[in-house]
Amino acid sequence: MADHRLAAHRLARRFSATAGVFGVDLHVAAGEIHALVGLNGAGKTTLMRLLLGMLQPDAGTAMINGLDIRTAGPRIWSTVGHLVDAPLAYRDLDTRANLALAARLHGVPRRHTDYTVDDVIAELDLHHYRDIRARHLSQGNLRRVGLAAALQHDPTVIVLDEPTNALDPAGVILLREALLRRAAAGAGILVSSHHLDEVARVADRITVLNHGTVIGALDPAGIDIERSFFALVHTHDQTRLPT
């Protein structure tokens, strides 16, 4: 348990009979990149929101670095970085101001803010956009700023929902390298994605979610994981059909 950066135990949140998350068990170990894949509406974002305290569960618990998030204080939350839905970037502020603001909110001391921001600007190649207001950034560059805000304080728990959405190929490679570096340093990383080939490149484990439940796992080193994915989903859908 102590090795788990992130864990869900029988986590459930029901929106309707068919929508929500229904008793999910999942964990992310230190140094591991764990990918969550599933069709639209499978419950990936809901699960991430439950793990981050954005939603209250109907049942089950979410744990971060071994602690129930209901009792987690500032020390535990300062170890978390996430990008779920929109980036933490304010339209009227430039990239540098947005990153400085995010760094402070993530617990980076004021005296360390400048070099924290400089480092992540270099890491994600945001030099050209450092003085550009968020309202003038492309969707891809805005995504990069959001990822920088989530990663710059070197969190040990990282949760990213569809992080490669809108990124150009160069951005995808930069993100992949940034995640691999952090995993090598001991971070536990949970990412969701529709891109199975991209997931296979970085993930140590791939969990498949369908209709709010975990239905199996894929081998990242497998030869045809797309076929395996659809086979799992199809089999699960067949078991749900009314008789």
Partner 1 sequence: MTGSTFAAALGAERRKTTGARVVATTTVLLVAGVALLAGALTMAATHGNQQVLDQLGPLSNRTGWPLLTGVVAQVTAAAAVLGFGVALGWMFGREFTDGTITGLFALPVSRTTIAAAKIAVYLLWALAVATLLTVLLGVVGLALRLGPLTGDVLAALARQHVLTCLSAVVALPTAWAATLGRGPLPGIATAVGLIVIAQVMVVGGTGAWFPVAAPALWALRPDAVSPVQLTLVATIPLVLLPVLLTTWHRLQLDR
Residues that bind partner 1 (CB under 8 A): 49, 52-56, 73-75, 77-78, 80, 82-93, 97, 100-102, 104-107, 110, 146, 149, 159
Considering beta carbons, is residue 147 or 200 the nearer one to partner 1? 147
The tokens describing 230, both together, are: 């659809």
Shortest distance (Å) from residue 117 CB to partner 1: 13
CB of 26 to partner 1, least distance (A): 17
Shortest Å distance, C-beta 235 to partner 1: 31
Neighbour order of strands in the sheet with 67-68: 20-29, 4-14, 59-64, 67-68
Which CB sits closer to partner 1, 13 or 200? 13
For partner 1, the closer CB: 126 or 225: 126
Amino acid at 145: V
φ/ψ bin of 10: left (φ > 0), alpha (ψ from -120 to 50), beta (otherwise): left
As measured in angstroms, the least distance from the Cβ of 88 to partner 1 is 3
Q: Which is nearer to partner 1, 54 or 59 (CB)?
A: 54
Q: Tally Cβ neighbours within 10 Å of residue 159.
A: 27
Beta strands 188-193; 157-161: pairing state: parallel
Interatomic CA distance for residues 225 and 239, integer angstroms = 21
